[in-house]
Structure 1
Amino acid sequence: MERSRFEEMFQLQSSHLTTQEKLQLFTSVFAGRYDVYAKNFINEQGKIQYFPSNDYGWKQLPPEKRSFQTLTNSVLKSHFRGEAAIGIFPMHLDDSCYFLVLDLDEGDWKEAGLTIRRIARERQMEAHLEISRSGYGLHIWFFFEEAILSRKARLFGKKLLELAMQESMQLSFDSFDRMFPNQDVLPKGGFDNLISLPFQGEAYHQGRTVFVDEHFQPYEDQWRYLQEIQRISTAKVALLIQEELGKQELDKELKVVLSNMIQLEKSSVTSKALFFLKNMASFSNPEFYSRLKLE
């Protein structure tokens, strides 16, 4: 079988790290829960689905008696070799996390990703771009210097998305549902949504599940890239959350069509104006939050 250009490039790179050092580095960067992880399988429709690494019969047991297989070095090695595809749960039992991920796979996700990266860099923070397993989407990773509450991490992500939506029409409010951690607190006896881990062997050798530069080219030494990961301080997280959004004044009339919804041509407004119009038209669902507290 002919090797891809990506695979040939990586074959020429000899990492200075031992296998054990790579494993230690990987677990220190992707510091989610290791007492449980997510396995994957292909369903009848040919789509990838994940499930917790449970011991047999876990659903029939009360939450305090359930047990799970831990994310060991052996499991990670099978992930790197392409024998498995592993997902990690970002939120710890105390509702904290060490990273936030934004998942983009709609519209011009490349433009949207670069917009978010630029906004972060303007505030002396780094957004780390990973090509998703499908090759048609992007995971944007933000790593924190220390554990922070998932609620604060999500407020941080929300503000980044709001700032980006003012500059790019490629982002919609759907992006707010694609943040990991996916909620502020863990539901009783449950898990937060998982995020698939990078460096999945089969995808890796096709140039996917790897970190890329602003031209969406993979960094030649992925392990060195992990060593040089820039983490974000809690002070910078707090500053971004407190940052106010700029005000937008509409300086011309807008032509709208009233039907079962209000419609207007995107080309007639700026990204910033469109964001504020969408923001005015959106509202939260209090019943959702009430149900979450009862779980």
Structure 2
Amino acid sequence: MIDIFKDVAHQIASFEDDPSKAGRPTGSAKGGFSFEGLVAKGLNQVIGALRGLHGATPHSVLVGTLSPRKLKTNDGIFAISKDQRQIVFRMRNIISGETLTTPIVVKEQWLKRTYKVEEWYDGKIAELSSKGWIPEDGEVFSGHNYSKIHKGLTIEFDGTVLFIEKGALCWKVLLECKSAKSSKKGRIDGNAHERFAYQNLEYLELAALYPRTQLILLTNDAFVRYKNKYHTGFGVHGIRLSNAFAWYDFDMVSTASQYVRLFKRWHAWLEGK
């Protein structure tokens, strides 16, 4: 099993997209999408290794309580069970499908990876108004209409992993994949990483409403091979926020050895260690 973990870890960590092309519009690069696909491919291999554990069984997943059903999604959802513990994976391109075992049933809310920002924005409207930050009139979203400015908008994470014991959710991991590259092999390109800083703050608000969650940032090792301010910044922000807010839980994985450590941690939990 450790050899599979090491192979997957190397594949993910060593990923690097093609160099940036002159004249290509901002935001048109597809590296992040291909990296996410590579992560999903690697997780499929990890799932396969966990399936091979003595006493482990694979399961499809249903949601609901009174009338369990399949979740309507294009994501793959798959579970591994051992004794009274289950790990449930949800992500695009994760293996899915029927198994010969009885499906496990979880709460639909547990599998969410997309959240409406109004869940934590709406409760702060009065405070925003007291600061004088909401226009009183003259704008489309002014006064009482201001809350409509964000209505229906969402924050989305790339995947989620559930850790369940005896039917209770022990903790939920939200996965976010970010890859970096350096066209000149000196300094990281682009600014997609700056968008994660915003997403991280949104997770801070989300975690206050959804206890027992953790945000894991999965990156390639370009973040630690080329000069940049992002990797250190992510870590510094994570420490600052975790020290200030008890519910905030962040982890970052970038190198092959760190990926192996993560997979071994999941393996040990499933084994009851």
Query: What TM-score results when the alignment is normalised by the length of structure 2?
Result: 0.24
> What TM-score, normalized by structure 1, do the two folds share?
0.23
- Structure in which a larger fraction of residues adopt strand: 2
